Chains A and B, each alone.
Chain A
Amino acid sequence: MRERIAKLVWALTMTLVIGLSCWFAAAHNPPIAIAASSDPVAVPRAKGPVPPAAEVARGRQVFAAQGCATCHAIAGEGNPRSPLDQVGARWDAEEMKAWITGTGLAVEMLPPAIAKRKQRYVAMPEDELKALVAYLLTLRFA
C-alpha cells in the first residue's frame, strides 16, 4: 500500500518536473520571435578592410582554444544562447575587443556577472586578441 503511494508520488514528481521542463523550453523559445531579423544593428555594415587570411585562421584557432563555444555559437556550433553570426557586421575592431574583454561599452550592456567573467580575457596576449578580433570581424553574414 505505502509502496504504491510512494511510487505514485514519484511518478507525480517526475511528470511535474518534466512537464515544467517542457514549459521552460517553450517559454524561452517563443515560436515567432527571430531576434536577429528585427535587430536594427544587424544590417551589414562595412567595417574596414578584410583582415589577412592567416590572421583569421589564427583567430579561429584562438576561438577554439579559449573554449569560446561553451558560451557562443557560430553557424550553429556551440552554445546557442549567444550566437555570434553577423557579429562582424555590428562592431568594429575596437568595439569587438571591448566585448571580448568585458570592458568599455560591454560593461553597460552585459549582466555584471558575465562582464566580470569576460574580464579574464584582458590578460590574453595582444596578438591572440588581435587575431580573434580579426576572425570575428569576418562573421558579417548569416
Chain B
Amino acid sequence: MSSMGESAAPLGGSVASSQGGPWLPRRWIRGTLWIVAYVLLAAFPLLLLLTGPVPRGGGWAWDFAMALGFAGLAIMGLQFVLTARFRRATAPFGIDIVYYFHRWAALGGFGLIVAHYLILRLRHPAALGSADPRNAEWPMTAGRVALALFAVLIVTSLGRKALRLEYDRWRVGHAVMAVMAVALAGWHIRGAGHYTAETWRGALWTGYTALWLGVLGYIRVLKPLRLLRSPYRVIEVRAERGRAWTLTLQPMREPMPEFRPGQFAWLSLGRSPFRAGEHPFSIASSTTLQPAVQFTIKELGDFTRTIRHTRTGTIAYLDGPHGVFTPDAWPQAPGFVFIAGGIGIAPIMSMLRTLADRGDRRPLLLVFGNRRWDDVLFREEIEALASRLTLRVVHVLQEPPPDWRGATGILSPPVIRAALTPDVANGVCFLCGPKPMNDSVQHTLRGLGVPLSRIQCELFDMV
C-alpha cells in the first residue's frame, strides 16, 4: 500500500484488502532512505570542501573550528526542510517525530556553532577582530549576530510556555529570526571564507544555500497557493461535553488527500493560508464520512477558546493529513488497546468510528480517563459504538459521582493492569493524552511486558 496521504490505495471500507500488505517494510525502506538523505545533506558542506585539493591549513584547531561552523550551519539550514511538512518525506516517521527531531537538531547545530566560535575565541582571538560593529568586518558582525539570533531562537522555543509567548506570535517570530540567522550565517561564510573562494566550490555552496531558500519559498508561497485551491467550509459547529466543540468541514472544491483514522491536519480558520495562523488538530470523524472531516477541539489555549465563536460558512484550509498514529499501520494486529485522557479521545474516536463502519470485529479495549462523568466526551456515542464493535470500555474518573462503581483516580499502573485482560494483551496500544499521562502509561505498559514497538504515541506537544 502506498504511504499515507497519497491516495493511490483504497481506504475506508475496503481496507481489508490491504491486510498483510507490505506497508510496514516499505515504510522502513522509505524511512531509511530519507534518513540517509538527511545525514548526507548535513554532511554535504564538509564532503564538498574535502573534495579535490585542499588549501594549506591554519592549524588543527583552526580548521576543526571552521569545519564545525560549516556543519552547524548545514544542520540549521536543514531545519527549514524538516518543518516544510513534505508529506512524502515525513509519512514513514510521522511528522510529530520530525518536529521532535527538529528540536534535537537545533540543539546539536547550535552546539557546533558555539564550539566553532569558542575555539576561535580561545585559540585565535586576534583573528576575530573587533567585536564593535563599527570597526569589524561586515561578515564577522554577520556571524556574531547570527550566533545571537540562534541563541534567542533556542531560548524562545524551548521556553515558549515558561516565557508565556503566545503561539501565533512566537511562530511568526521564529520563522523571521530563523531566516535572518541562516542568511547572516551564509553571508558570514561567503564573506569570511577562504574555503569557498574557488569558483566551483563557491557555486556549489550557493546552490546548497539556494536549496534552503527554495524550501522557504515552497512553505511560504507554493504550499499556501495549493491550499488556496482547496478551501473547506464549516458546515456545523456543535457543542460537546466538557467545553469541547466539534467542527464539521466540507470541501468546496478539491478535498485534501484521504486520511487514515487517527491522523491530523493543520487547520486555519477564516484566514488566508498565507498567514501563519494554523494549528494542528486530530481528525475525529470516521474515514467513511469523507470528503467531510470533523475536528473536536477543547477550549484550552488562546486559539481553542475562540472555536465556539466560529460561524457556519466560515472558510477553512487544511494541510494534511499527517501522522502515523493509526491502526491502519497495523493491518495484522490481533486487536487494539486505546488509552485516552480527556480530549485525547479525538483521534481515537476517528479510529473507533472507522473500525465500526468497516465492521471490524477484532477485540478492542478503551481505557478513558476524565475528571468528571459529566465531562466525558462522546460518552453516549462510545456506548453505542461498543455494541457495533468487540469493544470493552473502562472509564476512569478523578472526581467520581457518589454512586460511581468504576475505576477512579488517574490512569495508574493498577488501573491499567486490571483493564489489560488477556484477550487484548497482544494488541497494539494507542496512547493519547497529556504528556505526563502518556509517559506514565507507557512506563506501565512496558512494565506489563508490552514491547515498545507495540506502543504508539502522538507527540502533539510539538512546541
Instruction: State the A residues within 8 Å of B (CB).
Output: 1-7, 9-10, 12-14, 16-18, 20-30, 35, 65, 67, 69-71, 73, 77-81, 111-114
What residues of chain A lie closer than 8 Å to B55, measured between beta carbons? Answer: 28, 81
Q: Quick check: B46 and A17 within 8 Å, CB to CB?
A: yes
Task: Please report the C-alpha to C-alpha distance between residue A12 and residue B54 in the assembled complex, in whole angstroms.
Answer: 26
Known: A25-B63, A70-B127, A79-B58. A13 touches B75 (CB 8 A): yes
Known: A10-B105, A13-B38, A78-B124. A1 touches B197 (CB 8 A): no
Task: Please report the C-alpha to C-alpha distance between residue A70 and residue B62 in the assembled complex, in whole angstroms.
Answer: 13
Residue of A nearest to B55 (CB): A28
Task: Please report the C-alpha to C-alpha distance between residue A79 and residue B125 in the assembled complex, in whole angstroms.
Answer: 9
Task: Name the distance in Å between B52's Cβ and chain A's nearest Cβ.
Answer: 11
Residue from the list A5, A7, A20 in contact with B67, Cβ < 8 A: A20
Task: Please report the C-alpha to C-alpha distance between residue A67 and residue B125 in the assembled complex, in whole angstroms.
Answer: 12
Known: A4-B452, A67-B136, A80-B62. A16 touches B127 (CB 8 A): no
Q: Quick check: B108 and A13 within 8 Å, CB to CB?
A: yes
- Taking each of A4, A35, A80, which has the highest tally of chain B beta carbons within 10 Å of its own beta carbon? A80
Q: Quick check: B71 and A21 within 8 Å, CB to CB?
A: yes
Chain B residues 100 to 120 lying within 8 A of chain A, measured CB to CB, are 100-101, 104-105, 108, 112
Q: Quick check: A69 and B67 within 8 Å, CB to CB?
A: no
Residue from the list B108, B136, B452 in contact with A14, Cβ < 8 A: B108
Chain B residues 443 to 462 lying within 8 A of chain A, measured CB to CB, are 452-453, 455, 457, 459
Task: Please report the C-alpha to C-alpha distance between residue A26 and residue B452 in the assembled complex, in whole angstroms.
Answer: 42
Known: A9-B38, A24-B64, A27-B50. A16 touches B43 (CB 8 A): yes
Chain B residues 146 to 183 lying within 8 A of chain A, measured CB to CB, are none
Task: Please report the C-alpha to C-alpha distance between residue A71 and residue B128 in the assembled complex, in whole angstroms.
Answer: 9
Residue of A nearest to B97 (CB): A2
Q: Quick check: A81 and B58 within 8 Å, CB to CB?
A: yes
Known: A69-B127, A70-B127. A26 touches B60 (CB 8 A): yes
What residues of chain A lie closer than 8 Å to B63, measured between beta carbons? Answer: 24-25, 28-29
What residues of chain B lie closer than 8 Å to A22, measured between beta carbons? Answer: 64, 67
Task: Please report the C-alpha to C-alpha distance between residue A26 and residue B57 in the assembled complex, in whole angstroms.
Answer: 9
Task: Please report the C-alpha to C-alpha distance between residue A81 and residue B198 in the assembled complex, in whole angstroms.
Answer: 15
Known: A13-B108, A28-B54, A80-B59. A73 touches B75 (CB 8 A): no
Task: Name the distance in Å between B25's Cβ and chain A's nearest Cβ.
Answer: 16
Residue from the list A6, A13, A30, A77 in contact with B42, Cβ < 8 A: A13
Q: Does B418 belong to the interface (CB within 8 Å)? A: no
Task: Name the distance in Å between A66's Cβ and chain B's nearest Cβ.
Answer: 10
Q: Does B214 belong to the interface (CB within 8 Å)? A: no
